[in-house]
Structure formats: C-alpha cells, structure tokens
Amino acid sequence: MVNINFLRGNRKLIYRIIFAITGISILAIGVSFMRYAVLGVEPSTCLNIGIAKQIGISFGLWQFIMCLILVVGVFIFDKSKIGFGTVYIIVAAGYTSDLFLWLITKFHFWKFILLK
C-alpha cells in the first residue's frame, strides 16, 4: 500500500516525474512521426539513426548505447546533473520512438482521422 505521508511530502517531486515522463514520451512520439514522414530530425538523432542503420541494430538500442556513453562522461565530471529524467530518457526515448514508428507503419491508424 502507498504511504500517503510520502505522497504529501513529495508532491513537487511526483509532479516533476510525471512531467518528465510525459515530455519525454511526447518527444519520442514526435521523433517517430518525423522519421515516418522523412522530414528530418535534429542532428544528434540523425547521427544515431544513421549509425544504427550502418551497424544493423535498432534505433532504440543504439540510442540507449549512446546515452550510456554520454552519461559516463557526465558521471565523471558532474554527478549532480544525473536525475530521474536522465535515466528515463536513456531507457525509454529510443525504444518509445521505435515502438511508435512500428505502430504507425503497422496499423495506419491516422487513416481513420483524415478526411477523404
């Protein structure tokens, strides 16, 4: 059972975690749509997509590997910058983008929204 006193005392932390999860998920979904539409993405994502294709692994896995490499450098120089959002974006951003790109290409759910 959830400790109610913990929730009351850390309401600001809970809101920050919810907003971090929501923001990172929206970012990953946006990257999925940009990848599907072939409109281009920002430079670091473009680099990660290109390297992942050259190596032959998924974008999500390569994004995870690159983020781990970058966070090692951050860990060496300033550990205080690593928080929940850092860990969540390492684990979830690439895989969420891959998932939504798969959903977009598999189910074509936007056809129900568009007017003919």
Task: Convert the pLDDT of each residue in 62-106 to its tens digit.
Answer: 999 999 999 998 989 988 888 888 889 888 989 999 999 898 888
Kindly report, residue by residue over 25-76, the tens digit of the pLDDT: 999 999 988 888 888 888 988 999 999 999 999 999 999 999 999 999 898 9
**Domain range list for the chain:** 4-112
* 3-state secondary structure labels for all residues of the chain: CCCHHHHHHCHHHHHHHHHHHHHHHHHHHHHHHHHHHCCCCCHHHHHHHHHHHHHCCCHHHHHHHHHHHHHHHHHHHCHHHCCHHHHHHHHHHHHHHHHHHHHHHHHCHHHHCCCC
What are the backbone angles phi and psi of residue 62, rounded to the nearest 5°? -65, -40
Q: Is the pLDDT of residue 22 over 90?
A: yes
